[in-house]
Amino acid sequence: MTNAFQEQLLKAGLVTKQQVNKANKDKQKRQKQHPKKKSGKPNGLTQAQLAAQQKAARDRELNLKREQQAKLKALSAEIDQIIRENALARDDNCDIAYNFEHRQKVHRLYINTEMRQQLINGRLGIARIEGRYELVPLTVAEKIQQRNDKRVIIMKSEEETAEDEYADYKVPDDLMW
C-alpha cells in the first residue's frame, strides 16, 4: 500500500484490508479502460522541459541572426577595403559634373574628361563607400558587384547599347528614303 490516506484509514480501523485491495483493483481497471488523456504537451514533457526547449529554440534563432549580421558586416568591411585600395584619385582638375542614377536617386560626381570617356566606354565603375561615390576600374567594380550589387554601378558602353537596341529588327533591302 503506497497511498498514505489508505494506510491512515486502515490504521484507524475505518476500512479493512480487503476493502483497500478491492479499491486498488477497481482503480487499476478504470485506468486500463480509460487511459489518462495526454495534456497538450508533446511527448508528455513537463512545463520546465517545454520552457527549456522554447528558450533553446529562441537562442538558436538569435545566434543565427547574429551570425548573419556579423557576415554582412565583414562583407561590408571587405568591400570598403577594396574600394579604398582601388579608387581612382580625383583632384582639382576634375571639374566636369557627371550625373548618374543609383537606387532611384540622381547623384553627382566630379570627374575629368579622361575619366568621363572611360565611364562612357564602360571601363570604369562607380562604387559607394560611406555615403560617397568613388571611381574604380571595371574589374574591381565586377568584384564588388559579386559581393553586393547595391554598392556599385557599372555603365554599359555606348557601342553595346546601340547594337543591342535594334538587333532584333530586320531592315528591308528595298527601303527608299
Indicate if the pLDDT at residue 166 is higher than 80: no
Domain for residue 156, yes or no?
A: yes
Query: What is the model's pLDDT at position 41?
Result: 54
Count structural domains, the chain: 1
Domain for residue 6, yes or no?
A: no
DSSP-derived letter for residue 94 is -
Domain for residue 87, yes or no?
A: yes
Indicate if the pLDDT at residue 158 is higher than 70: no
Domain for residue 7, yes or no?
A: no
* C-alpha grid cell, residue 113: 574628361
Domain for residue 122, yes or no?
A: yes
Domain for residue 170, yes or no?
A: no
Domain for residue 176, yes or no?
A: no
Q: Which of 3-12, 40-49, 119-128 has the lowest mean pLDDT?
A: 40-49
Cα–Cα distance measured from residue 75 to residue 138, given in angstroms and rounded to the nearest whole number:
20
Cα–Cα distance measured from residue 113 to residue 51, given in angstroms and rounded to the nearest whole number:
67
Indicate if the pLDDT at residue 177 is higher than 70: no
| Tens digit of each residue's pLDDT (9 = 90 or more) over 91-127 | 878 888 888 888 888 888 888 888 888 888 888 888 9
Domain for residue 98, yes or no?
A: yes
Structural domain boundaries enclosing 57? 52-160
